[in-house]
Copies of this chain bind each other. A is one copy, B any other.
Amino acid sequence: MKLVQAVIRPFKLEEIKEALEEVGIVGMTVSEVKGLGRQKGHKEIYRGAEYEVDFVPMTKIEIVVPDRDVDRVLETILRAGLTGNIGDGKVFVLDVEEAIRIRTGERGEHAV
């Protein structure tokens, strides 16, 4: 199994979620993160003090899938997450050694 970890634009979450559902991928875990990269942040001003806020609000998706589904997931995210502008985000793939469903104790691909 693989962990597909994507950092995407927050407003793309709904679209990606639906696109994944269409290709049969439902489970995922999502968190709010801040990203730093090529995309420029913005300036903030508080009583004349200027702050460069480099961090951009992003959303992180984590999906664990059997190896055979990885490509499908990647394709879908790349398609649905695209705007073409700097800051669309990244997808990383990591190896997962084991997965367990807490409710049943099922292990491996059955767990996800």
- Which chain A residues have a beta carbon within 8 Å of chain B's beta carbons? 2-3, 6-8, 17, 26-38, 54-55, 58, 60, 64, 74, 77-78, 81-103, 105, 111-112
In whole angstroms, how far apart are the Cα atoms of A94 and B57 in the complex?
Answer: 24
Contact B90 A17 (CB under 8 A): no
Number of copies: 3
Contact: A8 with B102, CB < 8 Å? yes
CB <8 Å contact, B77 and A102: yes
A29-B58, A29-B60 known; A78-B102 Cβ under 8 A: yes
Across the interface, do A74 and B100 meet the contact criterion of CB distance under 8 Å? yes
Measured between C-beta atoms, what is the minimum distance from A41 to chain B in Å?
Answer: 11
Of B2, B34, B87, B101, the residue contacting A29 (CB under 8 A) is B34
